[in-house]
Structure 1
Amino acid sequence: MEAMETSDYFESYEDLDVHKLMLQDGPRNRAYKDAILSNKNEFKDKVVLDVGAGTGILSVYCAQAGAKTVYAVEASNISRIAEQIVRENKYEDVIKVLNKKVEDVILPEKVDIIVSEWMGFYLLHEAMLDSVIIARDKFLKPDGLMFPESATLYSVPCSVPSMYEYWQDVDGVSMQHLGMKIRENASKKPLTEIVTPEALLCDPEVVIWLDLREVTLDDIKSIEMRHVAVANKQGQYQGICLWFTCTFPSVVTEPFTLSTEPEEPSTHWKQTVIVLPTSIQVEGGSPIAYDITLTRSEENNRRYAIEVTMLDPDEVEHPEYCPCHLTKCILVRAMLEKYEKDEMPNMPDK
């Protein structure tokens, strides 16, 4: 069963529409291109490993940056097209396409840099990060670089009007019963759609931050985080929105970032939404408490099960400086402000 799932995964990347979608994602391409070509001194005459090379675009960027050798590892048959792309760009003396899983690859040398576009929906979907970690531990020199070098997954309560308000009036017909059934189905599988900044009800919270130079396979087996968010406006609490950012190393400028947050230009990842079974009216200053858990599926280790548990904000511990309107938090803020004021030295009169 597991072998079949792995085979299906790689076969899915032989679908040209998948690569068309990724290659038409301008923010994705530009983030990698800028990060690589702005670090030419790091790539010049270096050995690079591209994990999950696909059609080879990242390998070509590395060659353009002056890499001596690029090992473009791609397990699916799209590697045949990658070979043509390499020849088309006249880098066949630099880029070596290897049609294997990276776990099965044997290289004649250690590499200076690992490049990979491994991120799936809500960052971890498809679990390609496993292959990057294995490649890092097997091939990367101790002082080697990772592109990207870190990744962060965020969550934030949001409105989901496409799953609620839309069904109240479909061209003059109320279809709320159908909307309820659609939400029931959506609760079993997260949605992938564009979320507008206006739909966000709170400031985002970090679910997990990954240092790609140190993260282990055990670190990403199961992730659990409790959030106590505070609504910064009135709205309908109808779901949890997830997005991620990735950071690339840079020795000459600020680190380059690829972001899929709603305020940034849209990418093919869009955002991920976990739809709640009911819509809850919240006011500005209202606390929203929930647990979010991502657990690797036992049936398919390339997928994660996502669970959101709604909590009673009165019954969970709040952050020390929680700005919500609950009495206990107002009292704590007042005490902290008084303490800070009393601790400050008296200024002499002028």
Structure 2
Amino acid sequence: MPGPHDPHLGRPPREPRSGQPTLRDVAERAGVSAMTASRVLRDDPQVLPATRERVRAAAADLGYRPNEVARSLRLGRGTGLVGLVITNLANPFYSRLALGVDSVVAEHGLKTVIGNTGQDPDIERALVADLLARRVDGIIAVPACADQRHLAAAAADGVPVVLASRPPEGFAADCVLVDDFGGARDATARLLARGHRRIGFLGSPPAVHTGTERLRGYAAALASADLTVDTRLVRQGQTEPHEATRAAAELLALPDPPTALFCSNNRNTIGAFRALQAGGGTQVALAGFDDFELADALGLPLTLVAYDSDEVGRAAGRLLADRLHGAAAAPPRQIVVPTSLVEYGT
């Protein structure tokens, strides 16, 4: 006979409503109350074994998945989600950064939700607003520009925010940076040591922190050799290889072309390589920021600034995890990932 906690036992199960099956659908399929179905799915040991089997079978038949976000909020916990906002998922650096973040937050039972901005500040603001509406536990962001008011507002509302590749502007937050200045200075100095005096620069948009810092490092190396930056040899704004190919071709077509090129990221280095191959200018020395897969197979001397891009993500993940687990009131921290030079084809 049905127990007092199974008032619906014996009713013919109705077909579930269209769309995602609900807890009530499971209860009606199993012939129990929604309360009993909930207790079974929460592993309540007080429910009779036969009832547990019926409810679990009904859930499996219907393909029911509990809404963990709603359940966590009802229990006063977070959603278990971390928002990761990046500028260009096609760039291997950001892919590795994302893997680094995910490897750390997963150890804390968190899942990563990734949003790609395409370097568009408006898209970034919309993504952050959407993540906040979804009640993420924290946000790790690679900001597209210096206007970070939306991130500052999130932090002011108590959502932990960690920045990667760019320092916070207008508010205090943890951040993880790469030694952009030092790496660019060292790579340019290596070209200078090999006798080059006309060194072209291919970089990302001026609004990008990494591009600005790497241009500054390039200029500092030139200054140490008593040289000034020749603006005719500088091209900024390239975010994809085809844009860098065109910019490099412009430099190589100058009446007095550069004898070497320094590229501020892997997308520019790949584009410059294509321009050198197409124009027969493989005698032009090439250096760049970011090591990348198959760099050793290009068949020309190549100096690259290398660093652990996974560690950028891991460090950001650790900073966020610390904020979520007791360090909410600690002063903001900044971590700088070091760089080194690697040589290929020499």
**Same fold per TM (> 0.5)?**
no
Q: Which has the larger radius of gyration?
A: 2
Per residue, is there more strand in 1 or in 2?
A: 1
TM-score where L is the length of structure 1: 0.27
Per residue, is there more helix in 1 or in 2?
A: 2
TM-score where L is the length of structure 2: 0.27
